[in-house]
Amino acid sequence: MQGMLAPSQVAGKLDHFLTAHLDATTPFLVVDLDVVRRQYASLTAALPGTEVFYAVKANPASEVLSLLIKLGSNFDVASRGEIELCLGLGADPARLSYGNTVKKERDIAAAYRCGVRLFTVDSQPELDKVLRTVASGTVFVRIVTDGAGADWLVVTEVRLHCG
């Protein structure tokens, strides 16, 4: 098992972990928080002046979320459960963007009551629901284009302020 397929920076840690768990009978995911920390630092350094929004659904492990909270990340949440998870770990509700593509008005209202003021939409009906439900906040609007004739494509989000 020596070295597995891990990069040299984590191979020793991974080998140690796997040796300690040789009798595991179910699959598991190993995440090195030092790697998460380095990757977050690398991303934020490469994109100065921007804000990173981590999609909680990618890995909702409390250890990962707690680290990202400490590092100052923002979070893209897609459900009331994800909102409650982030807030329960100490995330500032101002750093949460509720971005599910189809949201129930009652869930938008619940998010707002929790202090969430950022919402992401990608259709007129979703925008209408947020505007009906939210007294004040910021709405990110996803704009999709096929990029026809472009040498490169920039995905744009437009901020609308409501209230």
At 96-150, the pLDDT tens digits run 999 999 999 999 999 999 999 999 999 999 999 999 999 999 999 888 777 777 6
State the pTM of this model: 0.78
Write down the CATH number for the domain with range 50-162.
3.20.20.10
**In the predicted structure, residue 154 carries a pLDDT above the cut 80:** no
Question: In angstroms, rounded to a whole number, what is the distance separating the alpha carbons of residues 158 and 163?
Answer: 16
Find, among 136, 91, 132, the residue nearest to 117 by Cα: 136
Strand order in the sheet with 74-77: 53-55, 74-77, 96-98, 118-121, 137-143, 156-162
> What average pLDDT does the chain have?
86
pLDDT: which is higher, 131 or 22: 131
**In the predicted structure, residue 11 carries a pLDDT above the cut 70:** no
User: Judging by DSSP bridges, how do beta strands 96-98 and 53-55 pair with one another?
Assistant: unpaired
Considering the chain, what percentage of its residues have pLDDT values greater than 70? 85
